[in-house]
């Protein structure tokens, strides 16, 4: 009986460990996506109005384009 109880404790710990590792991985992915978003906004804002016009982009489109670059289109 003690062996079964000990096995349940080990399974519970690995479940908690798995959830923690998963949460850490999600946080790292979100951090990387936010970095892509910020970099895209920074690079597009650095362009002149003429450059943006040549690309067919208005300044008001920059946040949505950066969001799409980081998280994909929805």
Cα angle 47, 34, 21; round to 5 = 160
Per-residue pLDDT tens for 42-74?
999 999 999 999 999 999 999 999 999 999 986
- Residue 8: what pLDDT? 54
- Give the Cα separation of 9 and 2 in Å (integer): 11
- Residue 73: what pLDDT? 82
Q: Burial code of 29-38, b = ≥16 C-beta within 10 A, e = fewer?
A: eeeeeeeebe
Q: Binning pLDDT at 50, 70 and 90, where does residue 36 land? A: very high
- Residue 21: what pLDDT? 92
| The pLDDT of residue 40 is above 60 | yes
């Amino acid at each position: 009986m003690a062996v079964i109880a000990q096995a349940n404790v080990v399974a519970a710990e690995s479940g908690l460990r798995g959830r923690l590792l998963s949460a850490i991985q999600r946080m790292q992915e979100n951090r990387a996506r936010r970095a892509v978003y910020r970099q895209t906004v920074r690079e597009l804002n650095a362009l002149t109005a003429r450059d943006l016009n040549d690309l067919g982009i208005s300044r008001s489109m920059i946040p949505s384009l950066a969001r799409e670059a980081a998280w994909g289109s929805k």
